Structure 1
Amino acid sequence: MSTELLTSWQLTGQDDSHLQKLASGELLQAEAANAWLQLRQLARRDGIELVAVSSYRSFERQAQIWQQKCNGSRPVLNQQQQALDIQQLSGWDKLEAILLYSALPGTSRHHWGTELDVMDQAALPAGYQLQLVPSEYQPGGVFAHLAAWLDRHAAEAGFFLPYRKYSGGVAAEPWHLSYQPLANACLKQLSLDTVRQALLRQPIAEQSLVLTKLPEIFQRYVQTICEPAA
């Protein structure tokens, strides 16, 4: 396992020089990339075509998503996958609604090159439009088999589901895989001050309130995860 620490710029998505690009397009740290290829091979043996919908995401890209959700041009969903009218919310209520499914720029685990949002290409019916919502991974959903398979086998390649269930911060994301050895090291290395400095360098929507509430955001939406199974 690599023990090399990331820089503050890499931890916050402002530098991707620690990543490699796979032929299939994923940007990951080398060790996570090898583990991902191993997991895909394991899945293929069981008839699952594991595909990454998303891997690395830069600060800039996360800030675009954040801006779009703040101004209402991108849907904001509650835990029941119902669209909210974000224009009717303000202050902390607005931030909480957005943070349920979208990380604050600088805090996304996708900045690290250890995370993947996944689906089963083989399970997609013809013409199906992927939504990436929990109901697709629950019993009766198009990816229910994948979700059950990940629960049993993800750890065989070193992965776990940090948002397996809602724990008071980020909503359940049964599609989100994290390469545990490297992700754990990144989480320990990321600090509140590192995030604050990134935001001061690159201001985002709702900047003033975000900086005021940053300690709570960091605790609830960064540090609160579902621990890997023993």
Structure 2
Amino acid sequence: MAQLTNLQYPALYGLDESHLVPLGQFLLTARTLTAFNKMQQHALSDGIDVQICSAYRNFERQMAIWNGKALGKRTLLDINNQPIDHSRLTDEQLVDAILCWSALPGASRHHWGTDIDVFDGNNISKADLKLISDEYVDNGPCAQLASWLNQHAKEHGFYLPYQANKSGVSPEPWHLSYFPESSQFLSQYQPDSLRQLLSQAEITLQSALLKKLDTLVDHYVFFVANTPE
């Protein structure tokens, strides 16, 4: 795993998981886990089975996702969930296209153990889940879940950091963040540390990323919905 000997808060960048506890195959902070268990039980009483499909991801895992999309080995989707031919894009355009749905390694909220992606286990299996917006609206299998979360997630400390006109990342109705802790992680985040980390990493599009990294961090890390509403 990538290392920085002078990194002050390695957990912010997916380089340390010693603060996390297991929930089956997933890792979360202890407080996030407690809050999730309570929210899950609340939802079950309303007929909704909130299940996690993604939680903590380390830096190397996030970089594998990034490199896969940059190299055309993983499907790259536009804002409307339509496939994009990566070979037709410049490096700068490819960076923007990947960031539409995937976080930059070292800049993902999934590095913290406070953020989870969820689905309704009553209506769709994890294997069939695509994590696209259509699944969470109208007659989608997770539409009832999305409506329930909008009403009740805040009661358990969770909120949606990625919302229309409130975040640089495209709206993700499946992405929940445990605000009491994730807000603290965000306040400690250091763009200079990310620059050092990416400079040492074997990441595709490195030059294009470093060229406009400050702008990317402002837009995709710091520009999120501020508080649960």
Same fold (TM over 0.5): yes
Deviation at 1:168, TM superposition (A): 5.9
Q: Which amino acid aligns with 1:99?
A: L
- The alpha-carbon distance between structure 1 residues 181 and 168, as it changes in their structure 2 partners (threshold 3 A), is closer
For residues 17-64 of structure 1, the C-alpha deviation after alignment (integer angstroms, 9 at most, x for no partner) is: 111112x32201111111111111111111111110000000000000
What are the ranges of 5 or more consecutive residues in structure 2 without an aligned counterpart?
1-6
Match of 1:104 in 2: 104
Q: What SS is found at the alignment partner of 2:122?
A: helix
Alpha-carbon separation, structure 1, partners of 2:112 and 2:131: 21
Alpha-carbon separation, structure 2, partners of 1:9 and 1:201: 15
- The alpha-carbon distance between structure 1 residues 185 and 168, as it changes in their structure 2 partners (threshold 3 A), is closer
Alpha-carbon separation, structure 2, partners of 1:7 and 1:124: 41
Deviation at 1:14, TM superposition (A): 1.1
- The alpha-carbon distance between structure 1 residues 168 and 162, as it changes in their structure 2 partners (threshold 3 A), is closer
Alpha-carbon separation, structure 1, partners of 2:166 and 2:211: 23
Q: Which amino acid aligns with 1:157?
A: H
Alpha-carbon separation, structure 1, partners of 2:57 and 2:38: 22
Conserved? CA contact 2:167–2:225, under 8 Å: no
What are the ranges of 5 or more consecutive residues in structure 1 without an aligned counterpart?
1-5
For residues 82-109 of structure 1, the C-alpha deviation after alignment (integer angstroms, 9 at most, x for no partner) is: 0000111012211100001010000000
Structure 2 matches for 1:110-121, cutoff 5 A?
110-121=110-121
Match of 1:169 in 2: 168
Cα RMSD (Å) = 1.7
Conserved? CA contact 2:13–2:107, under 8 Å: yes
Q: Does 1:16 align with 2:20?
A: no
Alpha-carbon separation, structure 2, partners of 1:54 and 1:229: 21
Alpha-carbon separation, structure 2, partners of 1:202 and 1:209: 14
Alpha-carbon separation, structure 2, partners of 1:120 and 1:164: 20
Deviation at 1:167, TM superposition (A): 4.1
For residues 113-165 of structure 1, the C-alpha deviation after alignment (integer angstroms, 9 at most, x for no partner) is: 0000000101228x972111011001121111000000000011100000132
Would you identify which runs of 4 or more consecutive aligned residues in structure 1 move more than 6 Å?
Answer: none
Match of 1:134 in 2: 133
Match of 1:36 in 2: 36
Alpha-carbon separation, structure 1, partners of 2:152 and 2:180: 16
- The alpha-carbon distance between structure 1 residues 115 and 7, as it changes in their structure 2 partners (threshold 3 A), is farther
Q: What SS is found at the alignment partner of 1:165?
A: coil
Conserved? CA contact 1:136–1:142, under 8 Å: yes
- The alpha-carbon distance between structure 1 residues 178 and 53, as it changes in their structure 2 partners (threshold 3 A), is same
Greater Cα shift, 87-96 or 151-160: 87-96
Match of 1:197 in 2: 196
Match of 1:143 in 2: 142
Deviation at 1:170, TM superposition (A): 0.9
Conserved? CA contact 1:165–1:226, under 8 Å: no
For residues 191-219 of structure 1, the C-alpha deviation after alignment (integer angstroms, 9 at most, x for no partner) is: 11121122123231111111111001101
Match of 2:88 in 1: 88
Match of 2:214 in 1: 215
Q: What SS is found at the alignment partner of 1:220?
A: helix
Match of 1:156 in 2: 155
Q: Which amino acid aligns with 1:215?
A: D
Alpha-carbon separation, structure 1, partners of 2:133 and 2:155: 23
